[in-house]
Chains A and B, each alone.
Chain A
Amino acid sequence: MIEVDRLCKRFGPVSAVDGLSFTVRPGHVTGFLGPNGAGKTTTMRLILGLYTPTSGTSLVNGHRYRELVRPLHQVGALLDATAVHPGRTAHRHLLSIAQSNGIGRRRVTEVLQLTGLDTVARRRAGGFSLGMKQRLGIATALLGDPPVLIFDEPAGGLDAEGIQWIRQLFKTLAAEGRTVFVSSHLMSEMALTADRLIIIGRGRLLTDTPTEQFIESSTRADVLVRSPRAGDLAGLLTASGGGVVPDADGGLAVTGLDAPAIGDLAAEHGIAVHELVPRHASLEQAYLDITRDSVEYRAAHPEQGQEI
């Protein structure tokens, strides 16, 4: 369980995190989304006691992070996969971190096997690909077998197989009753991984909702209809209370009536229907819509009054 309450972090004049409150519950994979610069990494560093908040609190399992004894048993984190000494072997890297929390060598071997790094354990981490470093970072997070796991952009650098593996891993960890908190700036990735979404922009909470509900509530549903007698059908649909807008290639975009109702109406009047497709705006679109006003860095559209 992670509880963030009215958390604020200012860096000089910039509010990186601005009154953020949310709870990340056990048993779920919670996606932490936002455009670049939204404050995801800052929030995670605040939760892990690396930054001192300007105001507000964050608790992990009911405790402030800095008060935790042997914290790796409570929280595992992957913040930056490249944060390894290039000259140290994967095994020694993990061992040194394990030892600081009284974790034995057997567990080091276990997490190396779990992440598929056992064959390269004696190689220096400097020679690892980004994907291998991600696995090493995940191995580090799992060392203490913690009930809370925090991952900052864990999928970067992983190949398709690696992404599949990491998704499955997160789901397994959540199914075991752990709290899994994963940040990403890619909605498409989170849609497949997370069952809850916390979306922030400019350090503020935009949405905190189950993934399903987010998709349902924020997509414009319509039905695409194609018919050789499109004109006649459009009249009937309008008369039945539907909204009709011409779509590309002579199709009709219908709102207010669902696909069965449209099909029935056409059949009643003997009108052939060639295509009848319920459509949802993509998840990516919904995400873009909600974060549009809070994008920190936007290409080629400088803010008004900003000097170039």
Chain B
Amino acid sequence: MTTMDIRPTEAAVPSAAVRARDVLTSEWTKLRSVRSTYWTLLVAIVTTVGLSAIVAVAFATPPPDHRPPIDPLLPSFASLEYAVLAVGVLGVLTFTSEHTTGLIRTTFTAVPRRRAVLAAKAVVAGTVTLVVGELVSFASFLLAQAILSGNHLGVSLSHPGVPGAVLADGILLSVCTLMGLGLGAIIRHTAAAVAVLAGLIYLSAILGLLPAPWNDRIGRFTLFYAAQQVVALHPRANLFSPALSMLVLIAWPAAALLGAAVLITRRDT
């Protein structure tokens, strides 16, 4: 019988580690091979570093009379506002671009363990944006301090608490990317997922308008307040402590990814 000629070419069942590496390699190729990755990262880098310089210049101009002491890390932190959305969209697209094109079916046919795909996408996109985030954070800090130091307002990297704050500043991009990725996997439509992501990121701005003390009591659960506390050299007393704020910062993407992990295996694709 000729029917037995063709058999699956399986030498041995590959180990879980090998399979995980395969999926990671695959997702790494995917991320590198589309232009949207480079565009979103370029926007994240240029806007952050550029705005840091502008904010620093604004702070460095001689005060008319008296001004409140500013946190020297504020310029680089405040400048992340556009970058977080850019890399958040990168996270969203990582999933929704596969859903809108239908490629997700090929992906899930090649890797039926869907959570492995989710994990690999998270690791790849999360790592890339973490590296970019740290680079951007240090670059904009150094640039802003170079501008501020002309007016004796700067702090150096060796100042106590500063290296940690700059490092913490850098993780915000990764946090938003992973949140976008989770939302993209849950919502599966680019526009809707981006809308929800933007709403969640900028929630702090809306909650900040609430009458005191509610603005802080509710606001401290938002991404921006939490990030601000983590980064600040002098954390505010009426918000969560930096350690708790760090937990808030991690909880947002964790919740999105957990939701995605639950839904991804249950739904028809």
- Please give the residue numbers on chain A whose beta carbons come within 8 Å of chain B beta carbons, in ascending order: 25-27, 45, 48-52, 61, 65-75, 77, 79-80, 82-89, 92-93, 95-102, 140, 144-147, 175-178
* Residues on the A chain within 8 Å of B268, using CB: 45, 50-52
Count, A-B residue pairs, CB within 8 A: 130
Bound CA–CA A71/B103 (angstroms)? 16
Within the assembled complex, what's the spacing in Å between the Cα atoms of A75 and B109?
9
Whether B108 pairs with A50 at a CB distance below 8 angstroms is: yes
Most buried by A among B29, B36, B107: B29
Binary interface encoding of chain B residues 103-122 relative to chain A, with 1 for a CB under 8 A from any of its CBs, else 0: 10111111111000000000
**In the A-B complex, the 5 residue pairs with the closest CB atoms:** A83-B102, A100-B26, A177-B5, A92-B33, A26-B3
B125 to chain A, nearest CB (A): 14
Interfacial chain A residues near B2, Cβ < 8 Å: 27, 175-177
Which residues 22-66 in B have Cβ within 8 Å of A in the complex?
22-23, 25-27, 29-30, 33-36
Q: Could you tell me the distance in whole angstroms from the C-beta of A154 to the nearest C-beta in chain B? A: 15
Q: Number of B residues whose C-beta is below 8 Å from A? A: 42
Residues on A with C-beta less than 8 A from B33 are 87-89, 92-93, 96
Q: Are B18 and A102 in contact (CB under 8 A)?
A: yes
The verdict on A100 contacting B102 (CB below 8 Å), with A27-B3, A177-B3, A178-B6 known, is no
A71→B18 contact, CB < 8 A:
no
Task: List, sorted by A's number, 12 A–B pairs whose CB atoms are closer than 8 Å.
Answer: A27-B2, A49-B109, A69-B13, A70-B14, A83-B101, A83-B103, A83-B105, A92-B29, A99-B25, A102-B18, A145-B9, A176-B6
Q: Is the beta-carbon distance between B8 and A73 smaller than 8 angstroms?
A: yes
The residues of B that contact A65 with a CB separation of less than 8 Å are 112
Known: A27-B3, A69-B19, A100-B26. A49 touches B112 (CB 8 A): yes
Contact present for B110 and A72 (CB under 8 Å): yes
A248 and B268 alpha carbons, distance in the complex (Å): 54
**Which of B23, B106, B266 interacts with A79 by CB under 8 Å?**
B106
Contact of A147 among B8, B19, B22, B269 (CB under 8 A): B8
